[in-house]
Structure 1
Amino acid sequence: MAILAANQESDMKKTSLIAGLLSLFLLVEGNTLFAQQGRDNNQKDFSEFLDRKGNYYRTASGKPGEGYWQNAADYQIEVALDEANFSLGGKVTITYTNNSPEPLDFIWLQLEQNRFTPDSRGTLTTPIQGNRYNGDTDGGYQISNVSAKVGAKGANSSKHLIDDTRMQVWFAEPIPAKGGKATVSMDFSFKVPVKGMDRMGRLKVNDGWIYAFAQWYPKVAVFDDIEGWNIEPYLGAGEFYLEYGNFDYKVTVPYNHIVVGSGKLMNPGEVLSKELQNRYAKAAQSDETVYLISPEEIKNTALTRPKQDGMITWHFRIQNSRDAAFATSNAFIWDAAKINLPSGKTILSQSVYPMESNSQEAWSRSTEYSKASIEYYSKQWFEFPYETATNVAAEINGMEYPGLNFCHYNSKGASLWGVTDHEFGHNWFPMIVGTNERRYAWMDEGFNTFINHYSSNAFNNGEYPSSLTQTRRFNSYFTNEGREGIDNYPDVTDTRNLGMVAYMKPGIGLIMLREYILGPERFDNAFRSYIKTWAYKHPQPNDFFNHMENVSGENLSWFWKGWFYGNGNIDLGITGVQPYGGNYLISLVNKGDFPMPVLLEISFEDGSKERVKLPVEIWQRGDSWTHLLKTSKKVTAVEIDPDKVITDINLGNDSWPVEIYKK
Structure 2
Amino acid sequence: MKLAYLLFSILLPLGLFGQNIQNNPGSNHGNKFEQLGTILPTPNVYRSASGAPGHKYWQNRADYEITAYLDEDKRNLRGSETVTYYNNSPDDLEYLWLQLDENQQSSVKNAGYDMESTLPRQITTDRLKVTDLPAKDNGYGINLEKVTDAAGNALQYMVNKTMMRIDLPRALKSGEKYIFKIEWNYNIPNRISMGGRGGFEHFPEDGNDLYTITQWFPRMCVYSDFKGWQHNQFTGRGEFALPFGNYKVSMNVPADHIVASTGEGKNFDKVLTSAQLARWKQAQTASEPIEIVTLEEAKKAEKSKSKQRKTWIFEAENVRDFAWTSSRKFIWDGMKVTIPENNNQVMAMSLYPKEAYNLYRKFSTRAVAHTILTYSEFTIPYPYPVAQSVEAANGMEYPMICFNYGRTEKDGTYSEGIKNGMIGVIIHEVGHNFFPMIVNSDERQWSWMDEGLNTFVEYLTEEKWDNKFPSRRGPAHTIVDYMKLPKDQLEPIMVNSENIIHFGPNAYAKPATGLNILRETIMGREIFDKAFKTYSKRWAFRHPEPADFFRSMNDASAENLDWFWRGWFYGTDPVDIAIDKVTVATPDLDSTPEPVREVYNVDNPHVNAFEDISKIRNRNDKSITFYTDKNKESQDFYWRYARGQEKVDTKREYTLERETMEKVPAKEKRDLQNIFAYQIDFVNKGGMVMPIILEFTFEDGTKLSDKSSAQIWRKDENKVSKTYFFDKKLKSIHLDPLRETADIDISNNFWGQIPAPATSFEVFKQKTGAAVRGAAQEKINPMQAAGK
Task: Tell me what 2:714 maps to.
Answer: 620
For normalisation by structure 1, the TM-score amounts to: 0.87
2:491 pairs with 1:484: yes
Looking at structure 2, the residues matched to 578 and 86 of structure 1 have their Cα atoms a distance apart, in angstroms, of 77
Task: Decide which structure has greater helix share.
Answer: 1
Deviations 1:205-263 (A, max 9, x none): 24421110000111100111111111101111111111111111111111111100011
Change over 3 Å in CA distance of 1:124–1:644 after alignment to 2? closer
Give the conservation status (yes or no) of the 8 Å contact 2:474–2:516: no
Task: Tell me what 2:655 maps to.
Answer: none
For normalisation by structure 2, the TM-score amounts to: 0.74
| Structure 1 segment 588-599 matched on structure 2, within 5 A | 588-599=682-693
> Percent of aligned positions with the same letter in both sequences?
34
2:92 pairs with 1:92: no
Deviations 1:179-230 (A, max 9, x none): 2111121111111111263311101224421110000111100111111111
Looking at structure 1, the residues matched to 353 and 688 of structure 2 have their Cα atoms a distance apart, in angstroms, of 51
Deviations 1:260-279 (A, max 9, x none): 00111111111112211110
Looking at structure 1, the residues matched to 322 and 310 of structure 2 have their Cα atoms a distance apart, in angstroms, of 20
Q: CA deviation at 1:362?
A: 5.1
Task: Tell me what 1:44 maps to.
Answer: 31
Give the conservation status (yes or no) of the 8 Å contact 2:66–2:248: yes
Looking at structure 1, the residues matched to 572 and 374 of structure 2 have their Cα atoms a distance apart, in angstroms, of 33
Deviations 1:401-430 (A, max 9, x none): 111111135374111111111111111111
Give the conservation status (yes or no) of the 8 Å contact 2:733–2:752: yes
Q: CA deviation at 1:128?
A: 4.9
Task: Tell me what 2:584 maps to.
Answer: 578
Q: CA deviation at 1:324?
A: 0.8
Task: Tell me what 1:449 maps to.
Answer: 455
**Unaligned stretches of 5+ residues in structure 1:** 1-37
Looking at structure 2, the residues matched to 366 and 98 of structure 1 have their Cα atoms a distance apart, in angstroms, of 40
Q: CA deviation at 1:315?
A: 0.8
Match among 651, 654, 660 for residue 746 of structure 2: 651
Give the conservation status (yes or no) of the 8 Å contact 1:441–1:489: yes
2:389 pairs with 1:294: no
Deviations 1:281-302 (A, max 9, x none): 1112222121112221125569
Looking at structure 2, the residues matched to 410 and 201 of structure 1 have their Cα atoms a distance apart, in angstroms, of 19
Match among 331, 334, 347 for residue 332 of structure 2: 334
Give the conservation status (yes or no) of the 8 Å contact 2:82–2:181: yes
Amino acid at match of 1:138: G
Looking at structure 2, the residues matched to 124 and 264 of structure 1 have their Cα atoms a distance apart, in angstroms, of 38
Match among 400, 422, 427 for residue 421 of structure 1: 427
**Worse-superposed segment, 53-62 or 581-590:** 581-590
Q: CA deviation at 1:603?
A: 2.8
Give the conservation status (yes or no) of the 8 Å contact 1:146–1:184: yes
Task: Tell me what 1:609 maps to.
Answer: 703
Change over 3 Å in CA distance of 1:505–1:173 after alignment to 2? same
Tell me, what secondary structure is at the counterpart of 1:427? coil
2:731 pairs with 1:639: no
Counting matched residue pairs gives 610
Looking at structure 1, the residues matched to 301 and 445 of structure 2 have their Cα atoms a distance apart, in angstroms, of 46
Task: Tell me what 1:534 maps to.
Answer: 539
Change over 3 Å in CA distance of 1:469–1:139 after alignment to 2? closer
Tell me, what secondary structure is at the counterpart of 2:497? coil
Give the conservation status (yes or no) of the 8 Å contact 2:472–2:478: no
Q: CA deviation at 1:624?
A: 2.1
Match among 63, 70, 74 for residue 81 of structure 1: 70
Looking at structure 2, the residues matched to 470 and 406 of structure 1 have their Cα atoms a distance apart, in angstroms, of 26
Looking at structure 1, the residues matched to 734 and 239 of structure 2 have their Cα atoms a distance apart, in angstroms, of 43
Amino acid at match of 2:33: F
**Worse-superposed segment, 408-417 or 57-66:** 408-417
Amino acid at match of 1:116: Q
Task: Tell me what 1:33 maps to.
Answer: none
Tell me, what secondary structure is at the counterpart of 2:32? helix
Task: Tell me what 1:165 maps to.
Answer: 162
Give the conservation status (yes or no) of the 8 Å contact 2:251–2:313: yes
Tell me, what secondary structure is at the counterpart of 1:618? helix
Tell me, what secondary structure is at the counterpart of 1:372? helix
Give the conservation status (yes or no) of the 8 Å contact 1:429–1:448: yes
RMSD of aligned Cα (Å): 2.6
Deviations 1:496-550 (A, max 9, x none): x111111111111111111111111111111111011001111111111111111
Amino acid at match of 1:43: G
Q: CA deviation at 1:53?
A: 3.7
| Structure 1 segment 104-143 matched on structure 2, within 5 A | 104-122=93-111, 125-126=114-115, 128=117, 137-143=138-144
Amino acid at match of 1:183: I
Task: Tell me what 1:190 maps to.
Answer: 186
Amino acid at match of 1:488: V
**Unaligned stretches of 5+ residues in structure 2:** 1-24, 128-136, 409-417, 588-674, 759-788
Looking at structure 2, the residues matched to 580 and 539 of structure 1 have their Cα atoms a distance apart, in angstroms, of 57
**Worse-superposed segment, 607-616 or 283-292:** 607-616
Task: Tell me what 2:641 maps to.
Answer: none
Change over 3 Å in CA distance of 1:226–1:466 after alignment to 2? same
